[in-house]
């Protein structure tokens, strides 16, 4: 085969990644498959020609990467992190796909379920920690109140002892003066 007959390999750059989710959300190619062609032609330039297959594959790759990063982020931090525009758009695409019941690869369904499970588990863990913290705060407050009450009782007892000592001294002095 002659190398002149080969198509020039096109690599979608990360700078072009934001246009893909925007195009997917605007055209909803999951409902109308011909919309992939519209997205490809919209993103193509004179030096950069895209076909529908590359667009679909890149969107799939972006979604897969989003799932991996989100799962790793949840494992690392234990809390949801703030998302940029690209992550928000990818979340919306995933929701769109789920609503339309698009046939996803088992791996994708599994990772969506895993992310949902991890998110629910994380939320439950956060709720548990908050409740645990509230209980600790209440216990500390009760301990502090008990400590204050005990100190108050000790001061009253000390005052009572001093009063009795003074009374004894006074009575003794009174006897001595008589």
> Is the model's pLDDT at 1 over the cut of 50?
no
**Backbone phi and psi for residue 48, each to the nearest 5 degrees, phi listed first:** -150, 95
> What digits encode the pLDDT tens for the residues 7-64?
666 677 777 778 888 888 899 898 888 999 998 888 887 777 888 888 888 888 888 8
Between 9-23, 71-85, 150-164, the lowest mean confidence (pLDDT) is in 71-85
Q: Is 67 a member of any domain?
A: yes
Secondary structure of 21-58 as H, E, C letters? HHHHHHHCCCCCCCHHHHHHHHHCECCECCCHHHHHHH
Q: Are residues 81 and 43 in the same domain?
A: yes
Q: Are residues 84 and 127 in the same domain?
A: no
Mean pLDDT of the chain: 80
Q: Spell out the residues 6+ positions from residue 121 whose beta carbon is closer than 8 angstroms to its own.
A: none
Highest mean pLDDT among 43-47, 63-67, 79-83, 96-100: 63-67
Find tokens 């990467």 and name the residue.
65
Q: Are residues 98 and 27 in the same domain?
A: yes
Q: Is 127 a member of any domain?
A: yes
Number of domains in the chain: 2
- pTM of the prediction? 0.48
> What digits encode the pLDDT tens for the residues 124-146?
888 888 898 889 889 989 999 99
> Is the model's pLDDT at 100 over the cut of 80?
no
SS3 (DSSP) at 95 = helix
Percent of the chain having pLDDT more than 70? 79
Q: Is 137 a member of any domain?
A: yes
Q: Which of 50, 75, 103 is the last residue of a domain?
A: 103
Q: Are residues 36 and 94 in the same domain?
A: yes
> Is the model's pLDDT at 86 over the cut of 90?
no
Q: Spell out the residues 6+ positions from residue 79 whose beta carbon is closer than 8 angstroms to its own.
A: 122, 126
Q: Are residues 64 and 130 in the same domain?
A: no
Sign of CA dihedral 10, 16, 22, 26: negative
Token pair, residue 165, equals 């000592």
5 pLDDT band, cuts 50/70/90, is low
Q: Are residues 51 and 89 in the same domain?
A: yes
Q: Are residues 152 and 91 in the same domain?
A: no
> Is the model's pLDDT at 82 over the cut of 60?
no
Q: Are residues 133 and 62 in the same domain?
A: no
Domain span including residue 84? 8-103
Degrees (nearest 5) of the Cα angle 71, 66, 86?
135
Taking Cα atoms as reference points, which of 111, 126, 129 lies closest to residue 80?
Answer: 126
> Is the model's pLDDT at 169 over the cut of 70?
yes
């Amino acid at each position: 085969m002659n190398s002149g007959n080969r198509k020039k390999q096109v690599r979608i750059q990360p700078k072009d990644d934001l246009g893909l989710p925007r195009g997917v959300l605007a055209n909803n190619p999951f409902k109308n498959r011909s919309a992939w062609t519209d997205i490809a032609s919209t993103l193509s330039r004179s030096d950069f020609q895209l076909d529908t297959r590359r667009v679909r594959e890149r969107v799939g790759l972006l979604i897969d990467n989003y799932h991996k990063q989100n799962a790793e982020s949840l494992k690392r931090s234990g809390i949801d992190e703030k998302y940029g525009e690209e992550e928000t758009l990818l979340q919306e695409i995933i929701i769109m796909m789920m609503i339309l019941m698009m046939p996803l690869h088992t791996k994708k369904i599994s990772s969506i379920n895993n992310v949902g499970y991890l998110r629910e588990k994380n939320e439950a863990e956060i709720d548990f920690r908050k409740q645990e913290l509230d209980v600790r705060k209440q216990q500390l407050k009760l301990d502090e109140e008990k400590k204050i009450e005990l100190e108050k009782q000790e001061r009253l007892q000390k005052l009572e002892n001093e009063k009795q000592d003074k009374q004894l001294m006074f009575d003794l002095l009174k006897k001595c003066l008589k």
